[in-house]
Amino acid sequence: MISPALNDSLTTWLASMSALKAASDNTLRAYRTDVEGFLAFLQQHLGDTQGLAALRDLSKSDMRAWLAHENARGVAPRSIARALSAVKSYVRWLSEREGFDATTVLSVKAPKFQKKLPRPLDKSAARAVIDTVEFQSREDWVARRDEAVITLLYGCGLRISEALGLDGDVVPLAGALRILGKGGKERVVPVLPAAREAVDAYVRAAPFEITASEPLFRGTRGGRLSPRVVQKVMAQTRAQLGLPATATPHAMRHSFATHLLAAGGDLRAIQELLGHASLSTTQAYTAVDTARLMEVYEAAHPKASGTGARRS
Per-residue pLDDT tens for 78-98?
A: 888 889 999 999 999 989 988
Q: What is the CATH number of the domain that holds 165?
A: 1.10.443.10
Helix (H, G, I), strand (E, B), or coil: what is residue 224?
strand
Per mean pLDDT, which range of 69-73, 273-277, 285-289 is the poorest? 285-289
- Which segment, 25-29, 240-244, 297-301, is predicted with the most confidence on average? 240-244
- In the 8-state DSSP scheme, what is residue 122? P
Instruction: Specify whether 76 is located in the same domain as 144.
Output: no
Assigned domain for 190 exists? yes
The per-residue pLDDT of the chain, averaged, comes to: 81
pLDDT confidence bin for 216, thresholds 50/70/90:
very high
Instruction: Specify whether 243 is located in the same domain as 166.
Output: yes
Instruction: Specify whether 73 is located in the same domain as 160.
Output: no
Q: Which residue has the higher pLDDT, 276 or 226?
A: 226
- Please state whether the peptide bond connecting residue 172 to the residue before it is cis, i.e. omega within 30 degrees of 0: yes
pLDDT confidence bin for 307, thresholds 50/70/90:
very low
Instruction: Specify whether 128 is located in the same domain as 80.
Output: no
Burial classification of residue 95, based on how many CB atoms lie within 10 Å of its CB (0-12 exposed, 13-18 middle, 19 or more buried): middle
Q: What is the pLDDT of residue 310?
A: 35
Question: Catalytic positions, please?
Answer: 159, 182, 250, 253, 276, 285
d(CA 257, CA 273): 9
Instruction: Specify whether 148 is located in the same domain as 97.
Output: no
Instruction: Specify whether 102 is located in the same domain as 128.
Output: no
Q: What is the pLDDT of residue 3?
A: 76
Task: Using the predicted structure, report yes or no on whether residue 204 has a pLDDT greater than 50.
Answer: yes
d(CA 175, CA 54): 56
Q: Which residue has the higher pLDDT, 184 or 248?
A: 248
Q: What is the CATH number of the domain that holds 17?
A: 1.10.150
d(CA 93, CA 9): 10
Q: Which residue has the higher pLDDT, 260 or 146?
A: 146
Assigned domain for 311 exists? no
d(CA 126, CA 259): 10
Assigned domain for 29 exists? yes
Last residue of a domain, one of 72, 106, 140: 106
Question: 0.75 cut: is pTM over it?
Answer: no
Instruction: Specify whether 100 is located in the same domain as 129.
Output: no
Q: Which domain holds residue 26?
A: 4-106
Instruction: Specify whether 84 is located in the same domain as 138.
Output: no
Q: What is the pLDDT of residue 245?
A: 86
Q: What is the pLDDT of residue 112?
A: 76
Number of domains present in the structure of the chain: 2
Assigned domain for 231 exists? yes
Q: Which residue has the higher pLDDT, 35 or 309?
A: 35
**206: alpha, beta or left? (left if phi > 0; alpha if psi -120 to 50):** beta
